């Protein structure tokens, strides 16, 4: 049995009772010292802070997602079947995009994710939209636009930057079998690296994503994707864990093993010591989420969207510089892609948490359970 002080610390966090962390992996991360006392920001729904000030939620319209193809996508990848596009705001013409942006800004939007379904080459056909994007940025310079780029060539990357796109987002896939079988795509791993190279060469903030478990729940090309990212120095890296709600019955996905996910977090932190690493909203629910989030805290990730119950306390008890920022689900396309403002959020201190808990008979602090001792 591996003796790990961090396991003893985790055992003090009541909501994590019953969460089965791997002692060997926790010990390895602890000995590596990769988390140390580095800062971590948790993005959570609206809550009352420990200093009792009321914080407004960001609201559903703060970072709307807009699709230029509505719910249509030629690829229909096995993990989403284009369903992820259906709830987005459609803007099938440049004129519609201008109208949508004006409507959203009037409702308080601060920025948007601009995306759309891919063609059979994993390209989103934005050509007709660049002039209106430029008009949006010239008219509303504070309005941020994050774009899901898909695969691009050098000229397209430059057009995106010239139009005023603030953040370029793309999935990096490191396994040829995943590209062919999950994405139904006749492209190469090298095409994904080349696209990332072109994007990082522009003025845009480039934020690649690695979907852990993309190959039907198995980890296959994630480490190769990590090497690709490391070669091109992006502004940040977002990690998510596959949630295949719409997977076909004949090719079901298994839930990725939390220990493997935790090991990947550790390796990503080691490989990218100076790059902000963010855990996005997408990951399985329930106990496995608590395990994944605990490993993310221990491995030194810089941000976690919507942490599992007890994970904020765990971070505080491990001595990390903890901040909490109220945010709704638009964090996936907002604070993640604009990452990371070092002074954002409310600083959380263990002694303040304990003092606040003692003053509250219910034993709750703004929805965050705190355990003394």
Q: Verify that 317 and 180 share a domain, yes or no.
A: no
Q: Could you tell me whether strands 346-348 and 321-326 are parallel, antiparallel, or unpaired per DSSP bridges?
A: antiparallel
Specify the pLDDT at position 61: 59
Specify the pLDDT at position 49: 37
Q: Verify that 49 and 76 share a domain, yes or no.
A: no
Per run of 10 residues, the mean pLDDT along the chain (length 373 residues) is 82 91 95 80 58 40 87 90 87 98 93 93 97 98 94 98 95 97 96 98 95 96 98 94 81 94 97 93 91 97 90 92 68 50 58 54 43 36
Q: Verify that 366 and 289 share a domain, yes or no.
A: yes
Q: Verify that 204 and 127 share a domain, yes or no.
A: yes
Specify the pLDDT at position 367: 46
Specify the pLDDT at position 344: 56
Within-domain flag for 261: no
Q: Verify that 71 and 32 share a domain, yes or no.
A: no
Contacts of 84 (CB under 8 A, 6+ apart): none
Q: Verify that 211 and 273 share a domain, yes or no.
A: no
Paired tokens of 280? 């996005």
Q: Verify that 213 and 200 share a domain, yes or no.
A: yes
Q: Which of 207, 227, 256 is the last residue of a domain?
A: 256
Q: Verify that 81 and 179 share a domain, yes or no.
A: yes
Q: Which of 223, 256, 289 is the last residue of a domain?
A: 256
User: How many distinct structural domains can be found in the chain?
Assistant: 2
**Residue 163 DSSP one-character state:** H
Domain containing 96 equals 63-100+114-134+149-256
The pTM (predicted TM-score) of the whole model is: 0.88
Within-domain flag for 107: no
Within-domain flag for 108: no
Q: Which of 256, 281, 298 is the last residue of a domain?
A: 256
Q: What is the CATH number of the domain that holds 189?
A: 3.20.20.70
Q: Verify that 244 and 366 share a domain, yes or no.
A: no
Q: Verify that 69 and 14 share a domain, yes or no.
A: no
Q: Verify that 205 and 249 share a domain, yes or no.
A: yes
Which of 223, 227, 178, 170 is closest to 200 using CA atoms? 170
Q: List the Cα angle 142/236/290 in 5-degree steps.
A: 110
Within-domain flag for 185: yes
Paired tokens of 196? 């990332």
Within-domain flag for 109: no
Q: Verify that 167 and 180 share a domain, yes or no.
A: yes
């Amino acid at each position: 049995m591996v003796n790990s002080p961090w396991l003893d610390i985790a055992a003090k966090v009541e909501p994590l009772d019953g969460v089965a962390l791997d002692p060997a992996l926790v010990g390895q991360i602890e000995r590596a010292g990769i988390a140390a006392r580095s800062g971590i920001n948790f993005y959570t729904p609206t809550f009352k802070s420990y200093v009792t000030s009321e914080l407004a939620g960001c609201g559903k319209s703060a970072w709307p997602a807009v699709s230029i193809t509505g719910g249509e996508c030629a690829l229909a990848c096995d993990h989403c079947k284009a369903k992820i596009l259906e709830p987005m705001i459609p803007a099938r013409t440049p004129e519609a995009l201008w109208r949508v942006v004006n409507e959203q800004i009037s409702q308080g939007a601060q920025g948007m994710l601009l995306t759309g379904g891919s063609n059979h080459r994993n390209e989103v056909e934005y050509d007709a939209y660049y002039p209106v994007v430029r008009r949006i940025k010239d008219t509303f310079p504070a309005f941020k636009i994050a774009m899901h780029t898909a695969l691009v060539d050098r000229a397209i990357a430059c057009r995106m930057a010239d139009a005023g796109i603030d953040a370029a987002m793309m999935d990096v896939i490191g396994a040829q079998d995943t590209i062919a079988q999950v994405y139904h795509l006749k492209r190469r791993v090298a095409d994904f690296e080349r696209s990332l190279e072109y994007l990082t060469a522009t003025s845009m903030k480039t934020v690649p994503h690695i979907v852990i478990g993309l190959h039907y729940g198995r980890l296959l090309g994630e480490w190769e994707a990590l090497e690709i990212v490391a070669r091109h120095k992006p502004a940040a890296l977002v990690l998510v864990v596959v949630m295949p709600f719409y997977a076909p019955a004949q090719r079901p996905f298994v839930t990725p093993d939390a220990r493997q996910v935790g090991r990947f977090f550790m390796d990503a932190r080691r490989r990218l010591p100076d790059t902000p690493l963010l855990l996005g909203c997408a990951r399985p629910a329930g106990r496995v989420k608590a395990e994944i989030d605990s490993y993310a805290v221990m491995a030194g990730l810089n941000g976690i969207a919507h942490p599992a119950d007890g994970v904020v306390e765990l971070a505080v008890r491990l001595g990390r510089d903890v901040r909490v920022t109220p945010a709704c689900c638009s964090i996936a396309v907002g604070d993640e892609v604009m990452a990371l403002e070092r002074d954002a959020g409310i600083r959380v201190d263990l002694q303040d948490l304990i003092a606040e808990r003692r003053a509250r008979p219910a034993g709750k602090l703004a929805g965050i359970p705190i355990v003394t001792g």
